[in-house]
Amino acid sequence: MANLPISQYEEKIVETVDKNPVVVLIGETGSGKSTQLSQMLRRRGYTKSGVIGVTQPRRVAAVSVARRVAYELGVQLGEEVGYAIRFEDRTSENTRIKYLTDGVLLRESLSNPELNQYSVIILDEAHERSLNTDILLGLMKRLIKIRSSNLKVLVTSATLDGDKVSKFFSDCPILTIPGKLYPVEILYSKERPSNYVESATKTALDIHVKEPEGDILIFATGQDDIEKLVSNLEDKVRAFEEGSCMDAIILPLHGSLPPELQVRVFSPPPPNCRRIIVATNIAETSLTVDGVVYVIDSGYVKQRQYNPSTGMYSLDIVQISKVQANQRAGRAGRTRPGTCYRLYPSRVYHDEFLDVTVPEIQRSSLAGSVLYLKSLNLPDIDILKFDFLDPPSFESLQDALKQLYLIDAIDEDGAITSIGQKMAELPLEPSLSRTLMEANNYGCISQALTVAAMLSAETTLLSVQSSKTEKKRKHNMSNLPDGSGLGDHIQLLQIYECWDQTDYDIGWCKDNNLKVRGMLFVKDVRKQLAQIMQKISKVPLDVQANGTVEEFHRGYRNLRKALCVGYANQLAERKLHHNGYRTLGFKSQVVQVHPSSVLRQDELGKFPDYVVYHELIATPRPCMRNVCAVEMR
């Protein structure tokens, strides 16, 4: 693709890479960093001495960019060009350009700490500041000292403060690809609308009716709002299409869309047809949609945040940062001058938006990452002093260490235990990997594998239409097993067992409003987890899925015992005088059972005395989501 901005700089880029172990490359979104850099370095011969690995913080981007590069090189995906994301590996021994999520690269470094198979590692989209990319930055700094003669590291970003990264890597060179953005006119709303979905619908229709050709890109917060917008727009656009204005196609774009629907945004529209793309922040920098002239920016993003002082997650709709707002506006100026309609007043932008987005490392639970770093057994790495670009708070590191101690993953000196070492091999949260280790001792590994796989894929299980509200969710699951009064983990297990008994019948999924793709994914994840368990436990395991009637009558006791150990920090005791529970981990607080849970009172109107929960969320009242009864007193 010779006409992308980056192409003119090929000589300069490869020369700088030849001469320096680390290079920072800053270039506007769409300049060709993700698709072209790997190809340039291939032309320069870097695939002769190893694989060029390109990390992406998002699964969708890894898949989409790998497809594109395979297409541009005229090779079959999975051969010379491939991708690897958690639970899905499309690479072969012939793969020389490998797109992978940052999490997968971290995992690879467990079995090969020096990442010897790679000649080049490109940490792409570093501006997203994902937790895993931040950790990789620290590890690369170390690796480059060990492999300085035969490893090249590139850090690329659309917006990142290049000087900061360059300093982090001992003042490495920074290359800047000048952007070719056309001017974008910014129009602000007078007030924040009370309902941005309605306001975005109206703005999009106005543009469609009054403005010249050019695609519209709307930034919404999540799948539910996207579905609402798509359906609103479909109704309204049809009403206008009585001959007067051009056609429109409305395309959703978000991370849980099946790949075949995602790629639709890359095909140009038919003549005289306007595309209205309704996207999450995935279209901010991860995926570049060409042809956009009008951007409608809600000013919001959905963000998962962890509070280490309460151990609680919240999924909040928060205001975007100035950097994000500018990226969104920039999407309108790629092909010609464009317009960005900000659905908020300029004073909100100036006075309320943060300058930059808070890095994920400062709003995540670090238990998994700390376990992973410990499992590398690097003599020179002290977690509390690990070289982070922006360090997490001392409190969240301590929180992670305490959690790991409670589930026997580290000892009182903070050293990783043999259990912890094995847990780190499983691509799961520490509570689930600990449950699997324990289930092995209790002879219920088959059931625990199913629960872990179901929980890993939970968001992709329910059919699109039925995911909208929790109430509807319960309704749609009413024909399915109900967890025998024991809660959500048991229900997830029973659903899978029912499906297993139909010999994985696709019609059964459809009849029960379960997404076929989601269930097939669970089956595959379960198989992969079983393989890892076989490897780390070194004894043959009975991992067949079907449970026995006898286990059912025993109330899945062994499984619940294993869950108790894995979730030792996620236990709660019922409070007699309150309509709720008190958590028993190292942080005690009053919480309730989430309304989506199938856990119910028994015939005596009593909830179980003790439960474990998968996570605590602020909704806004603190709730336990995915709850399972454990032994009664």
Q: How many residues does the chain have?
A: 633
The stretch among 64-72, 130-138, 202-210, 346-354 that binds ligand ADP (CB under 6 A) is 64-72
The stretch among 63-71, 460-468, 563-571, 618-626 that binds ligand ADP (CB under 6 A) is 63-71
Our CB check for ligand ADP shows the closer of 326 and 537 to be: 326
Of 13, 23, 35, 433, the one binding ligand ADP (CB under 6 A) is 35
Least distance to ligand ADP, CB of residue 272, Å: 22
CB-side exposure of 477: number of CA atoms within 13 Å? 22
Q: Does 31 bind ligand ADP (CB under 6 A)?
A: yes
Binding mask 328-357 for ligand ADP (x = CB under 6 A): ------------------------------
Of 13, 23, 26, 29, the one binding ligand ADP (CB under 6 A) is 29
Least distance to ligand ADP, CB of residue 214, Å: 16
Our CB check for ligand ADP shows the closer of 285 and 433 to be: 285
Decide if 303 contacts 315 (C-beta within 8 A): yes
Binding mask 287-306 for ligand ADP (x = CB under 6 A): -x-x----------------
Q: Does 59 bind ligand ADP (CB under 6 A)?
A: no
- Greatest pairwise CA separation for the chain in angstroms: 77
Decide if 454 contacts 555 (C-beta within 8 A): no
Least distance to ligand ADP, CB of residue 32, Å: 4
Least distance to ligand ADP, CB of residue 364, Å: 24
Strands of the sheet containing 118-123, edge to edge, are 88-90, 81-85, 97-101, 51-56, 118-123, 152-157, 22-27, 174-177
Decide if 630 contacts 563 (C-beta within 8 A): yes
The stretch among 34-42, 347-355, 441-449, 467-475 that binds ligand ADP (CB under 6 A) is 34-42
Q: Does 133 bind ligand ADP (CB under 6 A)?
A: no
Residue 274 host element (H or E): strand 273-279
The stretch among 60-68, 348-356, 426-434, 438-446 that binds ligand ADP (CB under 6 A) is 60-68
Strand partners, 303: 316
Our CB check for ligand ADP shows the closer of 176 and 465 to be: 176
Angle at which helices 367-375 and 102-111 cross, to 10°: 30
Our CB check for ligand ADP shows the closer of 280 and 491 to be: 280
Least distance to ligand ADP, CB of residue 269, Å: 14
Radius of gyration of the chain (CA): 25
Decide if 370 contacts 391 (C-beta within 8 A): no
Q: At 352, phi and psi to the nearest 5?
A: -105, -35
Of 9, 26, 32, 522, the one binding ligand ADP (CB under 6 A) is 32
Count of chain residues binding ligand ADP (CB under 6 A) = 17
The stretch among 32-40, 189-197, 485-493, 520-528 that binds ligand ADP (CB under 6 A) is 32-40
Decide if 613 contacts 625 (C-beta within 8 A): yes
Q: Does 27 bind ligand ADP (CB under 6 A)?
A: yes
The C-alpha atoms of residue 618 and residue 588 are separated, in whole angstroms, by 15
Of 42, 68, 374, 594, the one binding ligand ADP (CB under 6 A) is 68
Closest CA to 607 of 573, 583, 557: 573
Our CB check for ligand ADP shows the closer of 160 and 612 to be: 160
Least distance to ligand ADP, CB of residue 327, Å: 10
Of 21, 30, 82, 518, the one binding ligand ADP (CB under 6 A) is 30
Of 171, 176, 266, 304, the one binding ligand ADP (CB under 6 A) is 266
Contacts of 62 (CB under 8 A, 6+ apart): 56, 83, 84, 85, 99, 100, 101
Decide if 593 contacts 474 (C-beta within 8 A): no
The C-alpha atoms of residue 325 and residue 336 are separated, in whole angstroms, by 19
Q: Does 33 bind ligand ADP (CB under 6 A)?
A: yes
Of 59, 67, 254, 331, the one binding ligand ADP (CB under 6 A) is 67
Closest CA to 225 of 284, 278, 295, 297: 278
Our CB check for ligand ADP shows the closer of 124 and 497 to be: 124
Q: Does 55 bind ligand ADP (CB under 6 A)?
A: no
- The CA–CA distances, whole Å, from 216 to 186, 211, 337 equal 14, 11, 13
Least distance to ligand ADP, CB of residue 331, Å: 11
- The CA–CA distances, whole Å, from 562 to 406, 490, 546, 557 equal 14, 13, 18, 9
Decide if 373 contacts 135 (C-beta within 8 A): yes
DSSP labels, 376-435: TT-TT--GGG---SSPPPHHHHHHHHHHHHHTTSB-TTS-B-HHHHHHTTSSS-HHHHHH
Least distance to ligand ADP, CB of residue 180, Å: 11
Our CB check for ligand ADP shows the closer of 4 and 356 to be: 4
Q: Does 57 bind ligand ADP (CB under 6 A)?
A: no
DSSP labels, 558-584: HHHHHHHHHTTTSEEEEETTTTEEEE-
Interface residues with ligand ADP (CB under 6 A) are 4, 27, 29-36, 64-65, 67-68, 266, 288, 290
